[in-house]
C-alpha cells in the first residue's frame, strides 16, 4: 500500500498549534456492485424536485442527529438564506446526488460560496444548522458511495477548498472519511442529556439532592405568584413565532452584555428563519418553543426541534434583569418533563460545551470543523478559517467600540 503524507503548517501567532494534514492511505479502488450515478444540483427547481425522494431516503436512513439535513429544514433555509438574500451574498446550490438503478441513495447537501476569488464548498444550512453530514442509504456499499461522492466533488466540481463545519464524531462523514485528506480546523464538544432510563419526571428530579429539589420548587412557587405568570410549550402557531423572536432578542442582549460576537446572530436573516421554522405547518421540522413569562414580559425562552428520539435545544435564553428568579432553570425543567412524556430519550444541548450546559449534561460528543484544501488559494483560505485565527479575531472584536464591533463582525462573517 502506498502512503502519501502532506503537511500544512502555519505559525501565524505564537502559542497556536500547527495545522497538519492527515496521512492518507491510498489503495486500489474496488468496482461497486452496482453503478452509482452522480450529479450536481445547482438550480432551485432541481432541488425542489428532490423533495419526495429525499423524504423517503431520510425516513429510511436518516440518523438521529441529522435533523439539519432534512429536506424540510433545508427548504426553509433556502427560502430565507438563498431566495431572501442579495445575489452577491447568496450561496449557490451545489448538492451532490447519488443514484443506483434510478433510486436516490446519497445526498451531500452542499453550497458553493465565492469570496476574494476563492471557491469554497460548504454544507447547506449555515449559520443555523448545528451539524453537517451526508445522507446515505443503509447498504453495504456506503463507503464506496461516499468515496465516489468525495472524488466527484474534488475532480468534477473543482473547488479551491472544502470547508465542512460541525461534523459529529458519530456521523456518516466522520465514520467514512478515514481515508480522506483533511485538516481539522477546530474541535468542540456538544453536551447531551440522556433521559432513556427515566420512567417519569419525578425519577429525573430524584437524581438531584433534596436541597436542590426544595430550592427549585420554592422558586417555581414564587415565580407563579407573579402577576399573570405563565409557562408555555408551543409549536407551529403564531404565538410560537412571538416567543421565538423574544428569545432571540434576550439572547442578543446577553451577547452584547458580554461583548460576544456570534456569527449566527449577526445574520439579518436569522430571526426571519426562526420565526418561519417554528410556525411552519407545511414541511414541519417538529419545532418546540417554551417560555416563562409574567405580566406580559418574556423572561426565559427556548427554541428546539425534535427528530426521532432526540430533542435539539437550539437557542435558550433568560432575561438577565430577572436572573434571581431562575426562570431559565425552571423553563428547562419543563422542557425535560415534556421530553420524558413524549418518549424523547436524548436532549442534545449542541456545541459549544458552555458551563451552564454541562450542569445538565450526562455526556458530550466531539464536533469538528474540517477542511480539504485543493489549491494554493484553498490552503490560504483554510488557514484563515482555522480555530486559532477565528479565536483571535473574536477576542479582538470584543475590544472595539459598539459601532465598530458591529461593522467588523459583519466583515468577519463575510470573510470567514
Residues sharing a CB contact under 8 Å with residue 367, sequence separation 6 or more, in sequence order: 131, 166, 167, 168, 169, 187, 188, 189, 190, 351
pLDDT at residue number 152:
98
- Which DSSP category does 10 fall into? -
pLDDT at residue number 46:
98
Q: Determine the angle formed by the axes of helices 270-279 and 238-257, rounding to 10 degrees.
A: 150
pLDDT at residue number 30:
43
pLDDT at residue number 261:
72
3-state DSSP helix/strand/coil % of the chain, to nearest 5: 40, 25, 35
Convert 252-272 to b/e letters by CB count within 10 Å (16 or more is b): bebeeeeeebbebbbbebbbb
Between the alpha carbon of residue 228 and those of residues 231, 296, 298, the distances in Å are 10, 7, 11
pLDDT tens for the 416 residues of the chain, in order: 333 333 333 332 333 333 333 333 333 334 447 899 999 999 999 999 999 999 999 999 999 999 999 999 999 999 999 999 888 889 999 999 999 999 999 999 999 999 889 999 999 999 999 999 999 999 999 999 999 999 999 999 999 999 999 999 999 999 999 756 788 999 999 999 999 999 999 999 999 999 999 999 999 999 999 999 999 999 999 999 999 999 999 999 988 877 777 777 877 799 999 999 999 999 999 999 999 999 999 999 999 999 999 999 999 999 999 999 999 999 999 999 999 999 999 999 999 999 999 999 999 999 999 999 999 999 888 888 776 555 544 544 454 455 545 554 554 445 45
List the helix and strand counts (H, then E) for the chain.
15, 17
Residues sharing a CB contact under 8 Å with residue 195, sequence separation 6 or more, in sequence order: 204, 336, 339, 340, 344, 345, 346, 347
Name the class of domain 2-186+369-385.
alpha beta
* Contact present, 127 and 264 (Cβ < 8 Å): yes
What confidence tens digit (pLDDT) does each residue in 279-303 have? 999 999 999 999 999 999 999 999 9
In the chain, which segments carry CATH 3.40.630.30? Answer: 2-186+369-385, 197-344
CATH T-level fold of 197-344: Aminopeptidase (3.40.630)
Amino acid at each position: 500500500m502506498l502512503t502519501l503524507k502532506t503537511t500544512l503548517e502555519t505559525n501565524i501567532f505564537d502559542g497556536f498549534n500547527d495545522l497538519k494534514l492527515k496521512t492518507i492511505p491510498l489503495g486500489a479502488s474496488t468496482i461497486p456492485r452496482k453503478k452509482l450515478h452522480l450529479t450536481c444540483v445547482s438550480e432551485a427547481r432541481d432541488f425542489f424536485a428532490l423533495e419526495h425522494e429525499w423524504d423517503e431516503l431520510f425516513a429510511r436512513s436518516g440518523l438521529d442527529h441529522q435533523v439539519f439535513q432534512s429536506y424540510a429544514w433545508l427548504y426553509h433555509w433556502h427560502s430565507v438564506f438563498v431566495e431572501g438574500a442579495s445575489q452577491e451574498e447568496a450561496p449557490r446550490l451545489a448538492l451532490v446526488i447519488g443514484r443506483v438503478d434510478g433510486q436516490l441513495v446519497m445526498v451531500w447537501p452542499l453550497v458553493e460560496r465565492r469570496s476574494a476569488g476563492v471557491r469554497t464548498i460548504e454544507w447547506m444550512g449555515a449559520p443555523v444548522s448545528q451539524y453537517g453530514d451526508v445522507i446515505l442509504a443503509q447498504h453495504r456499499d456506503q463507503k464506496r458511495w461516499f468515496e465516489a461522492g468525495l472524488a466527484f466533488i474534488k475532480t468534477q466540481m473543482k473547488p479551491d477548498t472544502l470547508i465542512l463545519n460541525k461534523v459529529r464524531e458519530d456521523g456518516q462523514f466522520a465514520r467514512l472519511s478515514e481515508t480522506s485528506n483533511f485538516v481539522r480546523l477546530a474541535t468542540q464538544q456538544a453536551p447531551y442529556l440522556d433521559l432513556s432510563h427515566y420512567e417519569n419526571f419525578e425519577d429525573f428530579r430524584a437524581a438531584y439532592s433534596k436541597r436542590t429539589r426544595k430550592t427549585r420548587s420554592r422558586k417555581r412557587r414564587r415565580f407563579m405568584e407573579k402577576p399573570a405568570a405563565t409557562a408555555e410549550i408551543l409549536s407551529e402557531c403564531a404565538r410560537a413565532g412571538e416567543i421565538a423572536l423574544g428569545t432571540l432578542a434576550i439572547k442578543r442582549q446577553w451577547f452584547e452584555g458580554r461583548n460576544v460576537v456570534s456569527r449566527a446572530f449577526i445574520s439579518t436573516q436569522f430571526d426571519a428563519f426562526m420565526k418561519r421554522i417554528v410556525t411552519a405547518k407545511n414541511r414541519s421540522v417538529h419545532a418546540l418553543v417554551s417560555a416563562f413569562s409574567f405580566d406580559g414580559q418574556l423572561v426565559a425562552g427556548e427554541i428546539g426541534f425534535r427528530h426521532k428520539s432526540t430533542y435539539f435545544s437550539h437557542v435558550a435564553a433568560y432575561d438577565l434583569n430577572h436572573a434571581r428568579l431562575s426562570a431559565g432553570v425552571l423553563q428547562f425543567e419543563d422542557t425535560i418533563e415534556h421530553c420524558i412524556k413524549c418518549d424523547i430519550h436524548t436532549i442534545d444541548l449542541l456545541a459549544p460545551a458552555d458551563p451552564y450546559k454541562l450542569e445538565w449534561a450526562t455526556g458530550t460528543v466531539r464536533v469538528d470543523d474540517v477542511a480539504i484544501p485543493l489549491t494554493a488559494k484553498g490552503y490560504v483560505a483554510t488557514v484563515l478559517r482555522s480555530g486559532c485565527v477565528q479565536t483571535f479575531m473574536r477576542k479582538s472584536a470584543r475590544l472595539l467600540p459598539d459601532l465598530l464591533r458591529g461593522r467588523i463582525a459583519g466583515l468577519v462573517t463575510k470573510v470567514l
